[in-house]
Chains A and B, each alone.
Chain A
Amino acid sequence: MLETIGFVFPNDLHIHWSLMIVLYPYITGLVAGAFVVSSLYHVFDMEALKPVARFALMASLAFLLVATWPLLLHLGHPFRGVNVMITPNATSAMAGFGYFYSGYMIILLFEVWLVFRKDIITYARRSRGLKQTIYKILALGVYDTSEKAQAIDRKMVKFLAAIGIPGAFLLHGYVGFLFGALKSNPWWSTPLMPIIFIFSAVVSGIAALIVMYQVAMKLKGLVIDRACIDTMCGWLWMFLMITASLELLELVTLSYEKAEEWEIIGQLLFGPLSFSFLGLQMIVGVLIPFILLMIIVLMKKNMGDKVANTLSFTAATLLLIQVFAMRWNVVIGGQMISKSLAGLREAYKPELFGKEGIMMAIGIMVVPFVIIFVAEWLLPMFRYSEEQTEKLSENTTTYYE
């Protein structure tokens, strides 16, 4: 039977928002975070991020394409979900999903298309067979690659990347609002929730890109651009500090005010949730990456490439775990508190198989990488890194360490 501590309302014995609902904000967080990295280059002209800009955009799209899947698997009647676009309730945050998702999808598709358009046309002319058909469709029958057209494209991209930032923040932030605006659950109810979600989304996006960029470069035998890694680490460190401050602020304020909810929340955080909250989210997830990133950023000039890459890879991996733990602690932790505020559910163990199980979650997380591989086959994303590698190989004997 389900174990409880204290008094739990009879209907509260069941956890309704499962692993899938933990996964959903994680995925949209990666979408928003990857997009922010790409926009730092396209809008704010950070040249150091040029090696990952195109890849970040494609990664954002790859994760966006699977973002609905956890929701559809969770719903009791997934096909009725289309009603959010037919008769949306203006007072419901969840009703925003249809519009935020499709709106952001349109912006992102448009931007990806414009960024890769020159390549699409070039490959359309060079290729044969199935690939050529795909390129021709993507080109929409226009083969204009003149300087003027490219200039117009770049301006459009800059515009889209700029409006895409609030678009991505809406797509991910509305989930934070969904939780934060519920007065029934004191662990969720805070105006800080959308902000915490957004900032930790950016953390997860940058961390994912650091990991994926290094893996991609190793797989392709290209040089890992140190300046790019350094810049990403710098931004990651800053966003981590903000995220951690917000999460800690939440905790400190609750414990200081000692209102009714602190009794049960304190019991939760230092009891059943202590491993994933204190252990994973705070110590392993914040303290250690904070130190690692601080070392990378402050000792930039004295650090060799290999060391920097290893440390940043470690810190990024730990942060990916931290953000997942944070989503888990919010979604599952919140449901462990009974509405009576007088009891806790002991634990939630997701099933291994089944439509909301662990294998399904792993499966969903694998799909974006498959999409990225297909995208790489269709439209190579690392032209800049290839050029860098060639340039370096002309001057030195070893071009990557």
Chain B
Amino acid sequence: MEHTKHLWRATLILVIVTMGYLLGRGFLVPDSFGKYGYYRGDNLQEQMNIRVPKHGTGMESCGFCHEEKVDTIIVTPHKVINCETCHAALRMHVEYDSLENFLENPSNYEWTAEMPIHSAQELCIKCHDYQLAKPDDYTTIVVMEHLEEREMELGPNVCIACHDPHDPEM
């Protein structure tokens, strides 16, 4: 058609730009995209290694070195609590490069810091202070009454004055 040269020129520019986009896009799609689904497949592996687990496997991993504590607590009601729940995560105490290596050969690792011990009564009260919301079959006391009966003041370490956390029953 006559008089359409300008339209063809504009279309040509459009075609070049579109082809450039299509070509460029092919290079920018990540390699592992679509491997497992509509996402970058490599990330699955990355997420598995995103950090070294800070918590261990529970009493098992603490028991490698602290067998006597585990033996004490295992016959008390507190046996259901993981050591790391009251004390901090394992990695605060033993800095391992990987948890699997630690579990295989715990003796290869030395402790690198004091394990925080929450002797503050806060920790005991968080669980055992009475609230209606807590289940009926769970041991609770009304802390202020409990202390008043024994003429004691609320303060840090007041609970462990009488109770051993690893053998709490009187």
Contacts and interface: CB of A to CB of B under 8 A. Distances in A.
A and B touch in the complex (CB under 8 A): yes
B169 to A, nearest CB: 36
Interface in A176-208: none
A144 interface: yes
B6 to A, nearest CB: 4
Contact of B3 (A89, A110, A140, A146): A146
B3 A144 contact: yes
Interface in A70-124: 82, 85-87, 89, 106, 110, 113, 117
A142 B29 contact: no
Considering residues B2, B5, B6, B10, which has the most beta carbons from chain A within 10 angstroms of its beta carbon?
B6
A378 to B, nearest CB: 18
A345 B10 CA distance: 52
A106 B16 CA distance: 13
A82 B27 CA distance: 13
A86 B6 contact: no
A144 B6 contact: yes
A149 B7 CA distance: 10
B10 A140 contact: yes
Given A85-B25, A142-B5, A149-B6, 12 more contacts: A82-B28, A86-B25, A106-B14, A140-B9, A140-B13, A141-B9, A142-B6, A149-B4, A152-B3, A152-B4, A152-B7, A156-B7
A87 B33 contact: yes
A117 B6 contact: yes
A349 interface: no
Interface residues of A, number: 19
B8 to A, nearest CB: 9
A148 B3 CA distance: 7
Contacts of B9: 140-142
A141 B25 CA distance: 30
A86 B3 contact: no
Query: Interface majority SS on B: helix, strand, loop or mixed?
Result: helix
A139 B3 CA distance: 14
Contact of A140 (B1, B6, B21, B25): B6
Contacts, number: 38
Interface string A118-153: 000000000000000000000111101010110010
Contacts of A144: 3, 5-6
Contacts of A152: 1, 3-4, 7
Interface string B26-39: 00111001000010
A148 B1 CA distance: 11
A156 B7 CA distance: 9
Interface of A: 82, 85-87, 89, 106, 110, 113, 117, 139-142, 144, 146, 148-149, 152, 156
27 contacts: A82-B28, A85-B21, A85-B25, A86-B25, A86-B29, A87-B30, A87-B33, A89-B38, A106-B14, A110-B10, A113-B10, A117-B6, A139-B6, A140-B6, A140-B9, A140-B10, A140-B13, A141-B9, A142-B6, A144-B3, A144-B6, A146-B3, A148-B3, A149-B3, A152-B1, A152-B3, A156-B7
Interface residues of B, number: 18
A152 B30 CA distance: 44
A139 B10 CA distance: 10
Contacts of B3: 144, 146, 148-149, 152
A89 B37 CA distance: 11
Contacts of A87: 29-30, 33, 38
Contacts of B13: 140
B31 to A, nearest CB: 12
B148 to A, nearest CB: 34
Contacts of A140: 6, 9-10, 13
Contacts of A142: 5-6, 9
Contacts of A156: 7
Interface string B88-103: 0000000000000000
Nearest to A113: B10
Nearest to B6: A142
Contacts of B33: 87
A341 B28 CA distance: 41
A391 B10 CA distance: 37
Nearest to A102: B21
A117 B10 CA distance: 12
A87 B25 CA distance: 9
Nearest to A83: B28
Nearest to B21: A85
Nearest to B8: A142
A117 B7 CA distance: 11
Nearest to B11: A110
Contacts of B1: 152
Nearest to B5: A142
A82 B25 CA distance: 10
Interface string B114-156: 0000000000000000000000000000000000000000000
B61 to A, nearest CB: 31
A146 B7 CA distance: 14
Q: Which 10 A-B pairs have the closest CB atoms?
A: A142-B6, A149-B3, A140-B9, A148-B3, A86-B28, A142-B5, A86-B25, A144-B3, A152-B3, A86-B29
